[in-house]
Structure 1
């Protein structure tokens, strides 16, 4: 199953250039770049990047990649809206001769494909399987993965519930299918997540400058949640939330009176 998901991901990249009937455009990386100012040696490229790729038969492929200083990587891909099919891999990456692109090579022998990215300022740009830029009729930035600010950015993070109405929530409640969490997807202002048992989806409205946030009525699946006695209280938080505060990867959702309704902690590569 994992191999199938990975190969689907590679196939998606290989086919992406066909969306507009155009061929992939060559990266303008040839010639003699200044060796003192390459992405490899001039950018703070180590860190976590997230993006949402288009998907023909699901809500999107959420991708999260951590690039480490020792030239290793970790990656998590989730096919949204398909039972949250999740695939994780790790391996090594290498820079091209111009220090502009990287090629990810998985450790597992089951994965026989490589993935290319162009490395930019706080972003990775998905390339096709030959390492070339992708042209398509999709919105600009579709193939850009943004580097996560580990402090104050709230979108594109996995927020795990740790406190509800002043009471601590254990990370693994007995009987919970998944831990309670949510993710604010920048694309289309979508929220997805889990109550600890049922999946939740909906829309949100965010004003980062004023620290205000609101949520539309959320839709959930309807499985019986044995051992998850806080589900309704958790869902009620989103209806009552007016604003938020975030510090050092801890997020608080507050009502209009600034009362903390729930607290969350950011988890990476989940």
Structure 2
């Protein structure tokens, strides 16, 4: 009989541990959902391929974090170059609309659109003409897929 009680006690303890772990996991999931829901609309991953003179294009991933920091990764297509990564803080020119990224080689200007970011020219204007679509980075959803594709 004592052996049976010991088994029951072991099962109860194991289940209570499992129960507390489940509650912690649920709480963590809720916190993550809350953090995502509170992120500003411009926060997220943006991707595109920019024109280049020396190769078929420059693949760019720009991640804007809700805390105002960024991470930019570029790769020159069909070359043997390694990815170039820059991290830092976004400098807002017009809050929530236009911003500057200070790269060690140059300052880069951007404008937030709906579900996209426009890469601006040196004067802070959108690129126009037939090359304009190549200077737009599309926002990606949390799973890494393409967002809505809408850009305004």
Shorter-chain TM band: 0.5 to 0.7
Cα distance, 1:77–1:152 mapped onto 2, change above 3 Å:
closer
Q: Which structure shows the bigger proportion of residues in strand conformation?
A: 1
Select the structure of larger CA radius of gyration: 2
Q: 2 CA distance for matches of 1:127 and 1:62?
A: 17
Q: Which structure shows the bigger proportion of residues in helix conformation?
A: 2
Q: Which of the numbers 94, 98, 101 marks the counterpart of 2:98?
A: 101
Residue 136 (1) aligns with residue 129 (2) = yes
Deviation digits for residues 189-225 of structure 1 (CA, Å, limit 9, x no counterpart) = xxxxxxxxxxxxxxxxxxxxxxxxxxxxxxxxxxxxx
Q: TM-score if structure 1 supplies the norm length? A: 0.37
Match of 1:142, SS?
A: helix
Deviation digits for residues 150-182 of structure 1 (CA, Å, limit 9, x no counterpart) = 237279xxxxxxxxxxxxxxxxxxxxxxxxxxx
CA RMSD of aligned residues (A): 2.1
Q: 2 CA distance for matches of 1:152 and 1:69?
A: 17
Match of 2:115 in 1: 122
Deviation digits for residues 47-100 of structure 1 (CA, Å, limit 9, x no counterpart) = 110010111221210000110111110010000111144211111112223642
The size of the alignment, in residue pairs, is 108
Q: 2 CA distance for matches of 1:100 and 1:121?
A: 10
Q: 2 CA distance for matches of 1:132 and 1:122?
A: 19
Match of 2:123, SS?
A: coil
